[in-house]
């Protein structure tokens, strides 16, 4: 056994539980102690510089209290906290509370009432220790995930246009490998690996999938919801399988006529998979509507506001961001800061609350 393995075997989580709900946090502290050492403090006692042995911080505050929110924001803005897992407790599953937690930099969330078994699974995922973990598993998981995603691309863009049906089971078989690859490695490693792909359309779909999965994990989505978003992102551009390759790979900006043809891809993808049957409504929704904008300026149906579902809003954000930070035949990629500022300027078109929740994912992978 190597020295590293020996160290890993004896490692243990040390967690900081910062709470302004001392009367309600005792149950959570008890659950946390079953997976590590826990120091319970008030939000005012959050140290400016956490110890190097700290595995992460759990924040249990009233997210409707401006004073508590501002105090935590001030404490957690240091680089030391941005580099560690930050789990926020929600008093309920209300959209406002979730958004507030994400805006404060949550890397995961849990909700009351607590389900001890479920909480422990989330804690272990949010604050992994290294006990019994084989480092080589990371590389294997990444390779399996990229290979699985690539096979879906082949089926979408090569076999589907030739008349071979694309099966929902093909996507299900790939999604778990993709999620595991990003969870046990990093978004940066995923993007670096798939960024070497020679086919621009494949590369874009794999970028979007990577960003979508990382965003879902950052938002603390349930496993089922992560899988739904992963499979929708993977297939969002399936309609491009029916667009001429010469148009997809054109080394220059498209003419108005060419753009009109390109804009047919959401409808063509939707029609193809609807005719086949077996694909869940939310996947078809993303395929058809990922170019819709909140102000009604998108296509193909000029949807607006509440007509656009949450899963479409999320996919649209990661789709636009991926397109901006990718190198294209007719332009260099934009920097991450420039891409994000361009999307912030799309006020009224993109869900700005979701966009701000996406910020840590956009800026945290490079």
**Sheet strands (E) in 104-207:** 108-111
Please check whether the domain covering 11-126 is classified as CATH 3.40.50.2300. yes
Rounded to whole angstroms, how far apart are CA atoms 13 and 282? 38
**Which pair of structure tokens corresponds to residue 127?**
């604050």
In terms of Cα–Cα distance, which of 128, 79, 124 is closest to 105?
79
Rounded to whole angstroms, how far apart are CA atoms 239 and 267? 7
Model confidence over 57-105: pLDDT tens digits?
999 988 888 888 888 988 888 777 877 788 888 876 455 666 777 778 7
In terms of Cα–Cα distance, which of 334, 305, 312, 309 is closest to 321?
334
Rounded to whole angstroms, how far apart are CA atoms 239 and 350? 22
Domain assignments of the chain as residue spans, ordered by start: 11-126, 136-363
323, exposed or middle or buried, with CB in 10 Å at 0-12, 13-18, 19+?
middle
Model confidence over 311-358: pLDDT tens digits?
999 999 999 999 999 877 667 788 888 999 999 999 999 999 999 999
pLDDT at 214: 93
Average pLDDT over residues 246-267: 91
**Which pair of structure tokens corresponds to residue 82?**
């941005």
Res. 266: pLDDT tops 90: yes
Average pLDDT over residues 15-22: 85
Rounded to whole angstroms, how far apart are CA atoms 323 and 198? 16
**CATH class of segment(s) 136-363:** mainly alpha
Per-residue pLDDT band at 133 (split at 50, 70, 90) = very low
Res. 298: pLDDT tops 80: yes
pLDDT at 12: 65
206-243 CB burial, b ≥16 within 10 A, e <16: bbbbbbbbbbbbbbbbeeeebbbbbbbbbbbbbbbbbb
Entry field: residues in the chain: 366
Rounded to whole angstroms, how far apart are CA atoms 266 and 165? 18
Q: Mind giving me the DSSP string for 199-249?
A: -HHHHHHHHHHHHHHHHHHHTT--HHHHHHHHHHHHHTTGGGGGS-HHHHT
Rounded to whole angstroms, how far apart are CA atoms 363 and 366? 7
Res. 4: pLDDT tops 60: no
Q: Answer with the residue of higher pLDDT: 128 or 63.
A: 63
Q: How many CB atoms lie within 10 A of CB 118?
A: 12
The kind and range of the H/E element at 270 are helix 265-276
Q: Which residues contact 282 (CB under 8 A, 6 or more apart)?
A: 228, 232, 309, 311
- Give the three-state DSSP class for 29: helix
Strands of the sheet containing 86-90, edge to edge, are: 36-42, 13-19, 56-60, 86-90, 108-111
The region of weakest confidence among 35-49, 294-308, 337-351 is 35-49
**Which pair of structure tokens corresponds to residue 316?**
């649209």
């Amino acid at each position: 056994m190597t020295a590293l393995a020996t160290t890993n075997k004896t490692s243990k989580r040390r967690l900081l539980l910062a709470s302004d709900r001392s009367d309600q946090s005792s149950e959570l502290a008890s659950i946390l102690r079953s997976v590590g050492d826990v120091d319970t403090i008030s939000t005012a006692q959050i140290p400016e510089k956490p110890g190097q042995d700290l595995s992460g911080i759990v924040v249990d505050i009233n997210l409707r209290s401006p004073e508590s929110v501002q105090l935590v924001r001030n404490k957690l803005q240091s680089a030391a906290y941005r580099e560690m897992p930050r789990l926020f407790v929600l008093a309920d599953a209300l959209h406002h509370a979730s958004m507030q937690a994400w805006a404060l930099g949550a890397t995961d969330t849990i909700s009351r009432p607590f389900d001890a078994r479920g909480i422990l699974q989330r804690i272990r995922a949010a604050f992994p220790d290294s006990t019994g973990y084989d480092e080589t598993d990371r590389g294997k998981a990444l390779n399996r995930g990229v290979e699985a995603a690539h096979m879906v691309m082949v089926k979408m863009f090569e076999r589907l246009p030739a008349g071979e049906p694309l099966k929902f089971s093909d996507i299900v078989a790939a999604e778990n490998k993709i999620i595991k690859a990003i969870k046990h490695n990093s978004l940066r490693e995923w993007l670096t690996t798939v960024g070497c792909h020679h086919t621009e359309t494949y590369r874009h779909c794999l970028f979007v999938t990577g960003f979508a999965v990382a965003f879902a994990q950052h938002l603390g989505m349930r496993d089922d919801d992560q899988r739904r978003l992963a499979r929708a992102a993977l297939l969002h551009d399936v309609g491009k399988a029916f667009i001429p390759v010469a148009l997809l790979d054109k080394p220059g900006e498209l003419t108005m006529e060419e753009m009109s043809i390109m804009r047919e891809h959401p409808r063509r993808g939707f029609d193809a998979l609807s005719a086949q049957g077996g694909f869940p409504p939310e996947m078809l929704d993303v395929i058809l509507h990922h170019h819709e904008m909140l102000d009604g300026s998108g296509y193909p149906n000029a949807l607006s506001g509440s007509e656009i579902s949450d899963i479409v809003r999320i996919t649209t954000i990661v789709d636009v961001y991926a397109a901006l930070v990718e190198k294209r035949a007719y332009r260099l990629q934009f920097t991450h800061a420039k891409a994000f500022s361009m999307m912030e300027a799309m006020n009224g078109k993109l869900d700005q609350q979701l966009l701000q929740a996406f910020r840590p994912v956009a800026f945290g992978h490079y």
